[in-house]
Amino acid sequence: MKPTLFVLAAGMGSRYGGLKQMDGLGPNGATIMDYSIYDAIRAGFGKIVFVIRHSFEADFRAAVVNKYQGHIPVEIVFQELDYLPEGFTCPADRAKPWGTNHALLMGKDVIKEPFAVINADDYYGQESFKILADWLKQKEDKKNEYCMVGYRVGNTLSESGSVARGICAMDEKANLTNVVERTYIIRDTDGKIKYKDENDQLVEVGENTPVSMNMWGFTPDYFDYSEVAFKDFLKENEGNIKAEFFIPLVVNNLIVAGQATCKVLDTPSKWFGVTYAADRPMVVEKFANLVKAGVYPAKLW
């Protein structure tokens, strides 16, 4: 059975503005997501599932889904603030989405095979999709064995400002032991990579330190763990209208409890994306160069 690719496309780009997922950055107007889907098909994924919001369904179907017809089966699921377990209601003053693991839960009814999770607006690189697909193809009928593609932090920075990344620790078998979200990582004026710690102090990290770019591999049992964890999260955060239910939170808890393992798969791929509006020309240039180098055809679909 071929693995499924689950694309998190429900978010708006707050720092960049607008639907980043719809922005044509490659030759012939290809989006970052188009390159991800192209790489996923090439790597052997068999289905794409998008999670979006109802408010832009018509635009999304017209601008995105239609172009993949005949190339790969596509399904759409929806994330909304009031899609909560029975017995829970959304606080009236909550505006923020519930986070990436809530979005992931929306795929439970349509995904029954090993699956990968990616962001819609990040370029992950063809090697990463191949590494992830190969791993997932071996996990049919397995449980409690997950993975994360670990990017080398030096390959994931923006020239336009700081980035947020999950800095990973792992054991000698390359199993994830911890992910700590660092919201300010930058290459300093001395050329060294540093993040701000809890005391606002800059801490240096090595160029090849693995970080999470929200590229995960799961088997369907992860949905069951997530449902239980989400109820616990909602009880704990009843009064916190900004709390978000993130994938690393659930994975970390499963690792600590000894319920699951998460292998860190090293990738040589260089990440890029439009974190800031100023990143856009650089991303356009990178796609043009990849086409020129023959990595992608000028017209994908």
Q: Answer yes or no: are the C-beta atoms of 222 and 232 closer than 8 Å.
A: no
Nearest to 92 by CA among 102, 106, 81, 100: 81
CA dihedral of residues 103, 256, 233, 4 (deg, nearest 10): 10
H/E run at residue 204: strand 202-205
Determine the structural domain holding residue 86 and report its residue range: 4-144+212-248+269-292
Q: Answer yes or no: are the C-beta atoms of 245 and 233 closer than 8 Å.
A: yes
DSSP structural state of residue 90: -
Which amino acid is it at 99?
Answer: G
The dihedrals phi and psi of 25, each to the nearest 5 degrees, come to -115, -20
State the Cα–Cα distance between residues 256 and 156, nearest whole angstrom. 27
Tell me what pLDDT residue 14 has: 39
CATH number at residue 29: 3.90.550.10
Q: Is residue 233 part of a domain?
A: yes
Tell me what pLDDT residue 58 has: 85
Q: Answer yes or no: are the C-beta atoms of 240 and 89 closer than 8 Å.
A: no
Number of domains in the chain: 1
Q: Is residue 114 part of a domain?
A: yes
Please give the full DSSP string across 114-180, using - where no structure is assigned: -EEEEETTEE--HHHHHHHHHHHTT-TT--SEEEEEEEEGGGS-BTTB-EEEEEEEE-TTSBEEEEE
Prediction pTM value: 0.92
Helix ranges (H only) for the chain are 32-43, 57-63, 100-105, 126-136, 221-236, 247-256, 280-292
Q: Is residue 157 part of a domain?
A: no
Nearest to 215 by CA among 63, 59, 57, 43: 43
Q: Answer yes or no: are the C-beta atoms of 92 and 55 closer than 8 Å.
A: no
Q: Is residue 123 part of a domain?
A: yes
Q: Is residue 257 part of a domain?
A: no
State the Cα–Cα distance between residues 105 and 79, nearest whole angstrom. 9
Residues of the chain with pLDDT under 50: 12-18, 20
Locate 268 and state its tokens.
């040589």
Q: Is residue 222 part of a domain?
A: yes
Cα 92 to Cα 127, 241, 298: the distances in Å are: 44, 9, 47
Q: Is residue 34 part of a domain?
A: yes
Query: Which residue is listed with tokens 């998008």?
Result: 50
Q: Answer yes or no: are the C-beta atoms of 139 and 219 closer than 8 Å.
A: yes
Q: Is residue 284 part of a domain?
A: yes
State the Cα–Cα distance between residues 129 and 72, nearest whole angstrom. 16
User: For the segment 170-189, what is each residue's pLDDT rounded down to a tens digit?
Assistant: 999 999 999 888 989 999 99
